[in-house]
Structure 1
Amino acid sequence: MNRTTQFRSLIVGACLATGLLITSVAQAHISLVNSTPTADAVVATPQQIDLVFSERLVLRASRLELSAIRDGGAKEKVEHIEVDLIDDGKTLRATLHNPLGVGVYHVQWRAVGDDNHPMTGEYSFTIK
């Protein structure tokens, strides 16, 4: 092999290794697997909201906020909810201490796993 071929092989190998490293790091971030109620669902008043993630959460760094969407699109934060980890630490549960009224509700979450990288998301559901 001449020097040019060796250099090309080295560059290709380095690019492949970098691609594998980036892919493994990207896959390590936490993601939302399931939610109850689900996005865009029309439901009766729930007693809790559950967000199930792909890995264990760090509770002190994770959160779930619930807002009612009022006429005109204004958000009003729902008070008196208690957020905890349940089961194997992958489920963030918001227990609702007061029943929710008819309307559209917006869930906004922040989840942090063992890698300390925060992931965020949001969705809405409707109570009829």
Structure 2
Amino acid sequence: MKKTRILIFIASLFMAITASAHVGLKSTSPSASEVLYNSPEQLNLTFSNEVRLVKLQLQNAAGEDVDHEFKASANASAQFNHTLPKLKAGEYTVSWTVLGLDGHKMSGTFNFTLSECESGKSTHEDKESHPEHDNN
């Protein structure tokens, strides 16, 4: 019986260590696969626990890096907000890498799209407000 208790204790300790090592990305803004009509002013990442953000890369559809002056974080946090430059229409890929408080390295990617119609209006509304674009 004593051996069983020891095994249960070791197993629960192992599960607790494993669970704390796997911090996840809870949410982003822009959201994964989101289609935007205006260039986002910020990129926001929220994690399930405090981490250090050591890499944040933004690439356009051609795979070219978009310069956004990222500097690795020396302080741990669960929330990171990063100012973005004005983006052109197209698809973007965000790649991130974080270090957990235990030194565990995690990374991931997600995409968002900036629509060509950046005014926030639909194409139909644009044609109504600019009749010179009608093909009739």
Are 1:48 and 2:42 matched, yes or no?
yes
How far did residue 84 of structure 1 move? Answer: 6.8
Unaligned runs of 5+ in 2: 116-136
Partner Cα separation in structure 1 for residue 14 and residue 71 of structure 2: 33
Which residue type is aligned with residue 55 of structure 2? R
Which TM-score applies when normalising by structure 2? 0.70
How far did residue 81 of structure 1 move? Answer: 3.2
* Matched residue SS, 2:12: helix
Which among 49, 73, 95 is matched to residue 108 of structure 1?
Answer: 95
Measured on the aligned residues, the alpha-carbon RMSD in Å equals 2.2
How far did residue 19 of structure 1 move? Answer: 2.7
Partner Cα separation in structure 2 for residue 99 and residue 122 of structure 1: 21
- Contact persistence 1:84–1:92 (CA under 8 A): no
Partner Cα separation in structure 1 for residue 72 and residue 55 of structure 2: 9
How far did residue 58 of structure 1 move? Answer: 2.6
Which among 110, 121, 127 is matched to residue 108 of structure 2?
Answer: 121
Which residue type is aligned with residue 99 of structure 2? V
* Matched residue SS, 2:77: coil
Partner Cα separation in structure 2 for residue 84 and residue 49 of structure 1: 15
Which residue type is aligned with residue 76 of structure 1? E
Query: Residue by residue, what CA displacement relative to the aligned partner does 1:31-76 show, whole Å, maximum 9, x if unpaired?
Result: 21111011111112101111111222235xx221111112xxxx11
* Residue in structure 2 matched with residue 33 of structure 1 by the alignment: 26
Partner Cα separation in structure 1 for residue 114 and residue 97 of structure 2: 23
* Residue in structure 1 matched with residue 118 of structure 2 by the alignment: none
Are 1:95 and 2:80 matched, yes or no?
no
Equivalenced residue count is 111
Which TM-score applies when normalising by structure 1? 0.73
Identity %: 27
Unaligned runs of 5+ in 1: 1-5
Q: How does 1:50-65 map to 2 (within 5 A)?
A: 50-59=44-53, 62-65=54-57
